[in-house]
Structure 1
Amino acid sequence: MKILIIEDEPALQKNIADFFRRRDYECVLADCLDTAMDRLLYGTFDCILLDISLPGGSGLELLKDIRDQRRKEGVIILSARDSIDDKIAGLDLGADDYVTKPFHLSELNSRINSLIRRKHFNGSRFLLFNELKVEVQERQIFVHNQPVTLSKKESSLLLLLVANNRRIVSKTAIADHLSGDENSYFGNNDVVYSHMKNLKKKLTEAGCTDYIKTVHGLGYKFDCHETEHSKY
């Protein structure tokens, strides 16, 4: 999963990024309004952590722009302001959650996981596609109830495809999703092909049907009817 951390306090930004990178999230950073707008111009994210008070402008203005553009990212506001008026303003503008500083990173992690499940997986904790089981929060993969060891990039790629089940995901979107802060990924179809090849190989060697289809000239598609899911 890929998150954008918009926070101007260096120590807090680093603590958040370190915490989530240890949990295999791709973290992209911005410390002011202009940088945040630039990150959003060239990337898409599963979740945005948004501070209200930013150098160059208000995080609420950025939130309004995000929703005016009909972007689908989940947004969690991080703010030292604890007034009910600020919370109402943020939620009314389209924030999915509001967390008051100081906060525990473990709580923030739970809120992000819950948001991502709601946004991309209809709240499900696991998804089952015949012999393939995807545990969303833990990002663990099983084939015929046996765990499959994937790299961080490979598991992120599989979750992206599953979240867009039966829809084409372009190579450009995949490269962006895998990039994190690694600019060399942008537009690099060779890197996309390498990760895709490794993912498909590991799944088929584990006995999984090849549900990932190449759509020539467009991208890739995970193509399988979901057989079961669980919110528990």
Structure 2
Amino acid sequence: MKILIIEDEAELSDSISKYLTTEQFTCEAAYEYHSAIEKIHMNEYSCIILDITLPNGSGLDILTELKKMDKADGVLIVSAKNSMDDKIIGLNTGADDYLAKPFHLPELGARVSAIIRRKSFGGRNQIKIGDLVLDILDKSLKHRQDVVPLTRKEYELLLYLISNKNRVVTKEAIVEHLWGEEVDMADNYDFIYSHIKNLRKKMMNAGAPDYIKVVYGMGYKFMIPSE
């Protein structure tokens, strides 16, 4: 799951990024208004952490722009401004939650996870598909009572595919969402094939159906026949 941190305090932004990375999120940063606008136009994010006060512009204007674009990205406002008016304006403009500075990183992480659950999975902590149970809090997968051992990237890949179930996701979208700015957007996506292959093998070895289908020339689809 990819997070955008829009925060002009570089030290705070780095601290948030380091913490959320340990929680298995992929993080990108923007330190001022114009670079933030560019990123929200170019990319999709599971959640955006947004400071209201930014160089060259306002975080509230970024919220307005997200609304105009009909973007589904979750938004958590973090701001030193803790007045009720700021909170109400931010929430009414389209934010999903508001956290006043200073804050503890575990609380911020919990709120980000809660936003993602509400936006993508109806607030559920567990996603059940047939005999599969994906636990978002434990970041684990079980088939019936057996744990399916997944690497971090395999878990993130499965979560992304399930959040887009019955829809084709391109290799480019997978790379952008799971790796973000960590990798160069090259034409060769063989490493995606390896991750998909390993994930399918582990799930099928555990007794699950082959839910992940290859859509040749396009990408992959987590297919649930009954839906």
Work out whether the TM-score is over 0.5. Answer: yes
| 1:87-106 correspondence to structure 2 within 5 Å | 87-106=87-106
Aligned match of 2:195? 195
**Partner Cα separation in structure 1 for residue 72 and residue 177 of structure 2:** 14
Aligned match of 1:156? 156
Aligned match of 1:126? 126
- Is the counterpart of residue 147 in structure 1 residue 132 in structure 2? no
- Consecutive unaligned residues in structure 1, runs of 5 or more: 228-232
Q: Give, in angstroms, the shift of residue 187 of structure 1.
A: 5.4
Q: Give, in angstroms, the shift of residue 128 of structure 1.
A: 1.5
| 1:1-232 correspondence to structure 2 within 5 Å | 1-185=1-185, 188-224=188-224
Alpha carbons of structure 1 residues 62 and 224: separation in structure 2 relative to 1, 3 Å: same
**Partner Cα separation in structure 1 for residue 79 and residue 174 of structure 2:** 31
**Partner Cα separation in structure 1 for residue 119 and residue 171 of structure 2:** 22
**Partner Cα separation in structure 2 for residue 97 and residue 190 of structure 1:** 38
Q: TM-score, normalised by structure 2?
A: 0.93
Q: Give, in angstroms, the shift of residue 81 of structure 1.
A: 0.2
**Partner Cα separation in structure 2 for residue 69 and residue 171 of structure 1:** 24
- Consecutive unaligned residues in structure 2, runs of 5 or more: none
The superposition leaves residues 191-216 of structure 1 with CA deviations (integer Å, 9 ceiling, x where unpaired) of 32222112112212222211011112
The superposition leaves residues 108-156 of structure 1 with CA deviations (integer Å, 9 ceiling, x where unpaired) of 1121111111100011111111221101232211123211221221111
Aligned match of 1:230? none
Q: Give, in angstroms, the shift of residue 37 of structure 1.
A: 2.1
Q: Size of the alignment, in residue pairs?
A: 227
Q: CA RMSD in A?
A: 1.8
Q: Give, in angstroms, the shift of residue 12 of structure 1.
A: 0.8
- After TM superposition, the structure 1 stretch with the greater mean CA deviation from structure 2, 141-150 or 49-58, is 141-150
Alpha carbons of structure 1 residues 186 and 119: separation in structure 2 relative to 1, 3 Å: farther
